[in-house]
Structure 1
């Protein structure tokens, strides 16, 4: 769908995926310029068909396999984060568009006393690039993280995060909606505050300390949302990170599918298609240190006796579902098995093993539930989720590890 954006009294921008139409008047004559952004990750398509210029003709790419191989090789080396979001900017325009104070504040770096000092840092991080003509380019990395108004940057404007709250467990009635207007780093804490305000909470007193506890652990939610921002596929058009709040669950969806097997999220070294974004967001302390994010998510769910977070893959999207607390009897069996598997992963990483006792504690059950947990463990073994650490050990001392261990 084409979206119209007014920019000044004599300018009109039309944006459709990677196409931008610039409409203005010169000497009383209407001039229209079509700008096609440089491709990143995949070729620009028309009606889902990629084309290529051969001499003075535009031909379907599929008819030229040798050219297609060369093109894909080049696209694989193209990094979305380093592509230009805005070019030919004066220094004053750069400072008008980006929130430099946020960059220094989140890293606990003393704000330089002049613009040249500030530019030194952001040039090193390739948030801004100095052109040969003395002007400046703001990269997609700079725009997506530090834009004061993300709509100022057509290449990333559609990647602003959204929060939608529904009345119940369906999408029939929407209660509230939040549309991000700033770069991720600039607006992240405000987004989390808004999200926390929508979640049911209660005050509890532990060891004479009064604290507010939300329905879902905010540490886990923070990490899930940060992961959605970091690992999204920016080449997927018409889609942005989305947080949906239902009565008994929260769904966080991002464009793109993981580069790591979802069964190995906890133990595998992390892999991201957006390395610069991932590295900088961790330096800005927007998420956990390298590799510990999913460990923390799963552990927070265990500590709060929630079902394990569910991961669902679609053709062009990944969805993580965080469930509210349920009585053990009401948790679907497949979710119990998944919780059992993730518990085994966490125990394995701490050089321990899953036991009947540890799994009871994970679900918040009493000793009387030992038989139920034994049946769950037996089923998890039979379906290949876990395996005995030592099959010769007596049943009383049996420990279990993930099936891949």
Structure 2
């Protein structure tokens, strides 16, 4: 067998460079260094389709010359005087059984670590997975593309996977008791039976465990804080952050499992202040909370249920003193667009964590699947508050909730305009916020005479402005007619005899539509002067403009 490994090493040193699955070392440096290399090489072998990764001591990494090593893995001790091999195995997750081979090649000692490729989960060392980028070992969490590929071989539903080393004792007894009560309240016909179930029977019936085995879902929803160890390298953490209007962080707190209890703990941290505004037709102010409790619960529950835990990120809740809440979770938005969720009558056909989502529905943490987001929009619309803002870029979902009225009269009166669908309301909400809309949305709004303007410069149409008492604002957006601008140019030249283009820019910039950018206004003035020149109204001479 030693001849086989000698031949293997001789073939490895023929590689032109070190690889994602291959690293050469001269001598031993530290147990931690080897642990990180084992994690990186196992993951690199998986990504490149190799059965094994290799760490070779006694080979110079620049020249690939066999130089020998003084490293003896059998006598080398780790921290606490523990045998090195056992120390490494205990700190790798999942535990992989690498083998160590000691050889002599041309009278020089060589040590070979043969490391099985990762299979259905990245290999971590001390709860952190590593990866090889070129010849450098890096943290996997900084490379989401590689991380995603490593998880592709895993079962379709990560949340249903079994934590084989976990037991009932790793779940929080108080969280289980709360779950029992919630489940009983939701299932009145089973209330008496539930009292006779032991914990495992209840957890199976609530579809949190599978045949008495602890799932990732059980750890997330009901696990003791220390039990999140079983999810590594995935995390089960929520971070709440309070920021001032200037964006500077003022306070924060971290929450771990059980998320069933953390849901209320995070809610209590949010400063849901009273907000007053004048209701239509009344001299008395209406007082409401800035954020409807349902919206907070639904937004946070969606983040928990749809988080891509395999990416190793945290769920964050950022509360800003400008009356906004921002919820963020990792992972692509599976329905692709928020309109797909809002405008279809049926729920989505697939979810990232179906086992987890079903368990959350059973524990009343989420509405019936597919209805929650639409209800959030309806609540904000009835309160005359801006609709939720979803940002689905960069492989994560961010939703911003605004807890105040931006334009109360506009919102109320717009709702009285006939033939406005939810789709129209959403698109118009974007236009009011200065956000981009699709060509299809623009076409639909144009057909109903709801918007005017060109692509990327849309504005609310005159008819809507009339309905909403925004005639003045409309004119600021639309600007004045060409005759007005020409008259202004002529008047300036009559007064002063001549003027440069910068003089006309100073004169006209504030009179051009507010919706135009400075660059667009620059070209508008330039084109106006050229048109007037063609009409033989003005002419250009010695770098100034004059009247004909």
Q: TM-score, normalised by structure 2?
A: 0.47
CA contact (8 A) 2:316 2:328 kept: yes
Cα separation, partners in 2 of 1:163 and 1:335, compared to 1, 3 Å: farther
Structure 1 residues 290 and 113: alpha-carbon distance in aligned structure 2, compared to 1, 3 A threshold: closer
Matched position secondary structure for 1:254: strand
Give the SS at the match of 1:128: coil
Q: In structure 2, what is the equivalent of residue 368 of structure 1? A: 469
CA deviation string 1:285-307 (max 9, x = no partner): 22222221121111112112222
Structure 1, residues 257-306: CA drift from partner, whole Å, max 9, x if none?
10112232212432421001111212222222222112111111211222
Aligned equivalent of 1:254, options 329, 338, 347: 329
Aligned residue number for residue 284 of structure 1: 363
Q: Name the residue aligned to 2:316.
A: 242
SS in 1 for 2:181: helix
**Distance change in 2, residues 1:88/1:326 (3 Å):** closer
Task: Give the Cα separation in 2 of the matches to 1:73 and 1:120.
Answer: 32
Name which of structure 1's ranges 250-259 and 318-327 shifts more when overlaid on structure 2.
318-327
How many residues end up aligned between the 2 structures? 311
* Offset, 1:97: 6.2
What is aligned with 2:99?
none
Partner of 2:257: 182
Q: 1:275 aligned to 2:354?
A: yes
Going from structure 1 to structure 2, the CA distance change for 1:365 and 1:254 (only over 3 Å counts) comes to farther
| Partner of residue 167 from structure 1, selected from 238, 244, 260 | 244
Q: Mark the runs of 5 or more structure 2 residues left unpaired by the alignment.
A: 1-34, 40-77, 96-117, 124-128, 135-148, 412-427, 442-446, 451-459, 478-548
1:169/1:246 contact within 8 Å kept: no
CA distance, structure 2, for counterparts of residue 245 and residue 80 of structure 1: 30
Judge conservation of contact 1:41–1:78 (CA < 8 Å) in 2.
Answer: no
Distance in 1 between residues matched to 2:152 and 2:290, nearest whole Å: 47
Instruction: Give me the whole-angstrom Cα distance separating, in 2, the residues matched to 1:128 and 1:47.
Output: 32
**Contact 1:311–1:321 (8 Å) recurs in 2:** yes
1:180 is paired with a residue whose SS is strand
CA contact (8 A) 1:308 1:335 kept: no
Tell me the equivalent position of 1:79. Answer: 157
| Aligned 1:326-405 pairs, distance under 5 A | 326-327=406-407, 334-336=431-433, 367-369=468-470
Instruction: Identify which range, 253-262 or 77-86, moves more after superposition.
Output: 77-86
State the SS of the aligned residue for 1:290. Answer: coil
Structure with the bigger percentage of helix: 2
| Candidates 375, 387, 391, aligned match of 1:312 | 391
Within the alignment, does 1:293 sit opposite 2:375 as a pair?
no
**Cα separation, 2, equivalents of 1:181 and 1:73:** 26
Map of 2:530 onto structure 1: none
Cα pair distance change 1:144/1:355, threshold 3 Å: farther
- Relative distance call for 1:375 and 1:297 in structure 2 (3 A) is farther
Query: Corresponding residue for 2:29?
Result: none
Distance of 1:289 and 1:373 partners within structure 2? 42
Aligned to 2:293: 218
CA distance in 2, matches of 1:244, 1:292: 24
| CA spacing shift, 1:290–1:332, aligned 2, 3 Å | closer
**Aligned with 1:222: secondary structure?**
helix
Aligned to 2:405: 325
Structure 2 match to 1:141: 217
User: 1:364–1:126: structure 2 CA closer, same or farther, 3 Å change rule?
Assistant: farther
1:72–1:204 distance in 2 versus 1, CA, 3 Å: closer
RMSD of Structure 2 on Structure 1 (CA): 4.7
- Higher relative contact order (CA closer than 8 Å, sequence separation 6+): 1
Relative to its length, the structure with more strand (as a share) is: 1
Tell me which of 187, 197, 201 is aligned to 1:120. Answer: 201
The match for 2:180 is 104
Unmatched runs of 5 consecutive residues or more in structure 1 = 1-14, 51-68, 131-135, 345-352, 377-405
Give the 3-state SS of the residue equivalent to 1:326 in structure 2.
coil
CA distance in 1, matches of 2:236, 2:255: 9
Tell me the distance in 2 between the aligned counterparts of 1:282 and 1:40.
32
Question: Which of these two proteins has the greater Rg computed from alpha carbons?
Answer: 2
